[in-house]
Structure 1
Amino acid sequence: MTYLSRIRINPLRSPSRNLLGNARAMHSIVMHGVPGDATGERILWRLDADNPHRPWLYVLTHTKPDWTHLIESAGWPGAEGEHAHIADYRPLLDKLRAGDSYAFRVTASPVQNTKAPTKLTQAQKDRAQERLDAAQTTGRRPRSLRLGHRTAAAQMNWFTERTPGWGFRIPATEIEPQVPGIELDDSLASEVLIRNRQRLSFGHGTSRSTKHPVVIHTATFEGRLEITDAQRFTEILLAGIGPSKAYGCGLLTLAALPAA
């Protein structure tokens, strides 16, 4: 079984502010929502805080979760209404077909692997030197350095170039004709936009946390997609997109398109 949960977060409470500002802390409390040992289960989550007064947490699990602890510490435990909605994901997965179109949203961590990095921060230079020193010690070739894309254009290119391998495509925009004398670039010529971009930084929770904090550049993509390979697309929905999944990246969610 697979379950998609949506949980209300109260941003005014002290524990909530810690969770909202620290992806590592949010990952920890999400993992505690699954009974037993969750280390062997791929759990995807995403925080949607478009409205900072009403943030929502989405979580995809293969085990039915219990969010009582999260509601009590970071929600509205005494308020009316539904605090956490847990839905069986299988009905959606079973009806996916090639050619179907959906509205979508995903927060991802666009990255590149390079052996010739440029414009590095001091922390990245330190990491690159450590890898070079390790390679010289072992006699192996230096490993590539994984760097986050930091511009909107690079992040958009990262996303659109990979959609064929994820089992879907982004349709061309239906805005016709184009404004005379103005040419739309690639990011504006398809049904996708970047809704939000962030730079996340937090410690490892180890002795290395001060010297080498975790730094993630994220982008939230949303728009319209068309399924081209239902089997591959289903795999992507369950496994997530890109790296940094433990820190709120990779969960792609769907919604019905508004009626024409």
Structure 2
Amino acid sequence: MYLTLFRVNTARSDAQRLLGSPHRVHGAVNMSFPVPPPRNGSGPRVLWRVDRNGTSETLLYIVSPTRPDLTHLVEQAGWPASDEPGWTTFVYEDFLAALRPGDTWGFRLTANPVHNIRHEYVKEGERTKRAAHKTPRHQMAWLLKRQESAGFEIVQRPVGRRLLPEGDEYELIVRDQTPLQFRRSPTELRKNDVQITKVTFDGRLRITEPALFRRTLTHGLGKAKAYGCGLMTLAPVGKQT
């Protein structure tokens, strides 16, 4: 497994166009591999995430089973005349193998918190409709519901550090939420647009089941993984994720 970090040159019009559509970023990431890894669920998949940390720093993270080549992204959305390669790739295996029960980490996760709803007029047995969670409270509840099966637990705040009587129990915040609507193809009808809500969580977690947690880091969490959701990254406690 590999973890790759690419800094996007947002001053370039091609970079702005790329970032304007998760479908375009998905295609650009897939082009980084001569043989794209399979997506049949049998193994780790390619995950990616864009972090906008300010007007001067936009970062693309990629986790992948094989080492990517981002030459085309440097030419399109980087600094092609620079002496620097434009991206950094780390071998992820040693880091994953060193994770132990009880380890505490700061984390960042961009996900697509959804739930299934059934309207009153839908007959029994018919398919439900997938809908996004809209409020931070429900979005955080979505993540808390999945923590056990994902091999971690969100750290609880000491009672003395809680600012609210309820809803402030965990070291967890919704840093950003962005509704997105885009087309897979310019020829598609607008009624077929993809609509997702990307939510970025920052918080602190404790590893409970390392094998499950490694799977979370390499397979992703939740839906819309092709469109920049599901990737969790870690940082030592007290440092920026």
TM-score by length of 1: 0.84
- For these two proteins, the number of residue pairs brought into alignment is 235
Structure 1 segment 206-221 matched on structure 2, within 5 A? 208-221=188-201
Larger Rg: 1
Instruction: Look up the equivalent residue of 1:106 and give its one-letter code.
Output: L
CA deviation profile, 1:182-203 (whole Å, cap 9, x unmatched)? x3332x2211111111001101
2:177 to 186, 194, 197: 197
Matched, 1:223 2:203: yes
1:23 aligned residue: 22
After TM superposition, give the deviation of residue 109 of structure 1 in Å.
Answer: 0.2
- The structure with the largest helix share of the pair is 1
1:236 aligned residue: 216
Whole-angstrom CA distance in 1 between matches of 2:38 and 2:144: 31
Whole-angstrom CA distance in 1 between matches of 2:183 and 2:61: 23
Whole-angstrom CA distance in 1 between matches of 2:34 and 2:165: 50
* Higher mean C-alpha displacement, 36-45 vs 225-234: 36-45
CA RMSD of aligned residues (A): 2.2
Task: Structure 1 unaligned segments of length 5 or more: list them.
Answer: 118-128
Instruction: Look up the equivalent residue of 2:185 and give its one-letter code.
Output: G
1:176 aligned residue: 160
Whole-angstrom CA distance in 2 between matches of 1:38 and 1:14: 30
Structure 1 segment 1-260 matched on structure 2, within 5 A? 2-38=1-37, 40=39, 42-81=45-84, 83-116=86-119, 141-174=125-158, 176=160, 178=162, 183-186=164-167, 188-205=168-185, 208-258=188-238
After TM superposition, give the deviation of residue 248 of structure 1 in Å.
Answer: 0.2
TM-score by length of 2: 0.90
After TM superposition, give the deviation of residue 226 of structure 1 in Å.
Answer: 0.1
The answer on whether the counterparts of 2:30 and 2:36 sit within 8 Å (CA) in structure 1 is: no
SS in 2 for 1:56: strand
Whole-angstrom CA distance in 2 between matches of 1:246 and 1:64: 18
SS in 1 for 2:80: coil
Whole-angstrom CA distance in 1 between matches of 2:161 and 2:228: 38
Whole-angstrom CA distance in 1 between matches of 2:133 and 2:97: 35
1:124 aligned residue: none
Whole-angstrom CA distance in 1 between matches of 2:67 and 2:7: 18
Task: Structure 2 unaligned segments of length 5 or more: list them.
Answer: none
CA deviation profile, 1:43-73 (whole Å, cap 9, x unmatched)? 1000001213210000011011101110111
Q: 1:7 to 1:200 in 2, by over 3 A?
A: same
Instruction: Look up the equivalent residue of 2:165 and give its one-letter code.
Output: L
* Higher mean C-alpha displacement, 13-22 vs 170-179: 170-179
After TM superposition, give the deviation of residue 166 of structure 1 in Å.
Answer: 0.8
